[in-house]
Amino acid sequence: MKDRADAILRREQAAYLDRLLPPREALLAEMEAWSAAHDVPSSDPEVGKLLSILARSRGAKRILEVGTAIGYGTLCLARGAPEARILTIDPDPERREQARGFLARAGVLERVELIDGEALQVLPRLEGPFDLVYVDALKEEYRRYLDLALPKVALGGLIVVDNVLWRGRVAEPPAERDRNADAIRAFNGYLMIHPQLEAVVLPLGDGVGLAVKTKLTIMELGGPF
């Protein structure tokens, strides 16, 4: 979730883009209000729209989400890929239960597996391939999430990473150290030069990293050699 409307773009640009967004369905609007009222981060509406578009365009059948929160991104993915099975990881039991309630009301819960646990512990146990992976969890762990998830992504599969501009602080480091900004700045460089990916950073929401898997990893080829 972006810190403020003009954290990335100029205020007039941000306001214009917000006006272009179509009205959300009632349940998504309720989830946005709940997140704001309880100070629980969730995907921005424009990021949710991107997730839905990407899931639909890929024709995704299996989706992995790292960081469920209250299930806003989960629901957007489910709406975009109506035949997909979604595995979503979160260690917070209260957030998972909140997500469960929203997803049940949306009629998509039967296609969602809510996994309890720390993502770094859960990811090695999962079996691929996944058509799309969405990451929105602990910023200092982004690189490890990518390393663990990438071998389980199908060739041509998509990876979407939220908050990669981190309130604008990755471009203009604050006077006081921001560990999240430092971690994401390093992650962005890693994402952009990764030999198995073609990637771009989009100034959408709080910044979105979008990548497609273009080559198999060494692990998938039977290595290390």
**Token pair 């512990």: residue:** 121
48 has pLDDT over 70: yes
In this predicted model, what pLDDT tens digit does every residue of 190-222 receive, in sequence order? 999 999 999 999 999 999 999 999 998 777 777
- The helix (H) or strand (E) run that includes residue 16 is helix 11-20
Domain ranges of the chain: 11-210
pLDDT over 70 percentage in the chain: 95
64 has pLDDT over 90: yes
**Per-residue pLDDT averaged across 62-78, rounded?**
97
The residues near 153 (Cβ < 8 Å, ≥ 6 apart) are 128, 129, 130, 131, 133, 159, 213
Task: Give the per-residue pLDDT at 20.
Answer: 87
Out of 2-6, 28-32, 186-190, 207-211, which region has the weakest mean confidence (pLDDT)?
Answer: 2-6
In this predicted model, what pLDDT tens digit does every residue of 168-180 receive, in sequence order? 889 876 677 889 9
Task: Give the per-residue pLDDT at 173.
Answer: 66
**CATH fold for domain 11-210:** Rossmann fold (3.40.50)
**Per-residue pLDDT averaged across 75-84, rounded?**
97
**Per-residue pLDDT averaged across 154-172, rounded?**
93
85 has pLDDT over 80: yes
